[in-house]
Amino acid sequence: MKTDRTRREPTIALINIIFLMLIFFMAAATLAPPLAQDLRLVRTADLEGTAPPDALVVHADGRLTYRGAPVSDAASHVATLPETARATLRLVPDAALPATDLLRLGEALRRAGAGRVVMITERGLP
């Protein structure tokens, strides 16, 4: 006479694998530490040398310069650029420039025909 023994599934092994996966993902995940309250990421006043070539510089008071020469209007400046320079327009803002002014300028540059507006900043984090 044969006895039918039901074979038990190795649930302990499955629980161990799931537990190890949980530990792995908890250890592998990195949480970014919060930025310091006094951290200023955009800093152009302390840069050594000059602005990158072919970059539109926006000063703290809203003045625009391109290659050291003053620019009266952002839209007219974009119109004078060759097509290749209009595809990606580089912008160097001063850290003291209000963010609303920077956003307004970016929108004006895009409306004037700049394909992409890239902001050049100093790397603030190590």
Please report the pLDDT score of residue 20 as a whole number: 92
Amino acid at 78: V
> For 18-125, where are the E strands, in sequence order?
55-58, 64-66, 69-71, 88-93, 116-119
Question: What 3-state class would DSSP assign to 71?
Answer: strand
Q: Mean pLDDT throughout 39-51?
A: 55
pLDDT at 36 over 80: no
pLDDT digit string (tens) for 81-92? Answer: 888 777 888 888
d(C-alpha 60, C-alpha 67), whole Å = 17
Please report the pLDDT score of residue 42 as a whole number: 63
Please report the pLDDT score of residue 2 as a whole number: 54
